[in-house]
Amino acid sequence: MEREQHELYEYARKRIKQKKGLYFHFVLLFLVSLFLFISTNIFNFSPESNWYIWLITAWLFLFLLHFIKVYITDRFMNKNWEREQIDRLVALQKKKITELETHITEDTLKQEQQL
């Protein structure tokens, strides 16, 4: 396999693994929420408080963070994005270095002319 094809394959494999983890997280959230609801309301396990609602809400918040990471953040900020950012920063550094070198040569020329 060529390097580019291998990178595409690895990216696809990583994305599938992320999505699979997200789907597992959703199913687990659903089943545990259902279990907590049934155990609290039907079997009267600690019915005086609604502690399970707070637990489900907190877990739902974590699931939303996981969803954002998989479908928004990692989708746009992948290896290509990292390479573009690195290339941009390297280009900026090279530009600054050439500007400094130009400035230094101009200063040395001015000093030589003054002598």
Domain definitions of the chain by residue range: 1-77, 79-115
* CA distances for 87 relative to 42, 80, 82, 93, angstroms: 60, 10, 9, 10
CA dihedral 49, 53, 57, 63 (to 10 degrees): 130
Q: Which of 82, 112, 100, 66 is nearest to 11 (CA)?
A: 82
According to DSSP, residue 87 is labeled H
What pTM, to 2 d.p., does this model score?
0.64
Count of beta carbons in the 10 Å neighbourhood of residue 7: 13
3-state secondary structure 38-73: HHHHCCCCCCCCCHHHHHHHHHHHHHHHHHHHHHHH
| pLDDT surpassing 80 at residue 1 | no
| pLDDT surpassing 70 at residue 90 | yes
pLDDT-based confidence at residue 99 (cuts at 50, 70, 90): very high
Distance, CA of 69 to CA of 57 (rounded, Å): 18
Poorest-pLDDT segment among 2-11, 24-33, 99-108: 2-11
pLDDT-based confidence at residue 12 (cuts at 50, 70, 90): confident
Distance, CA of 34 to CA of 20 (rounded, Å): 21
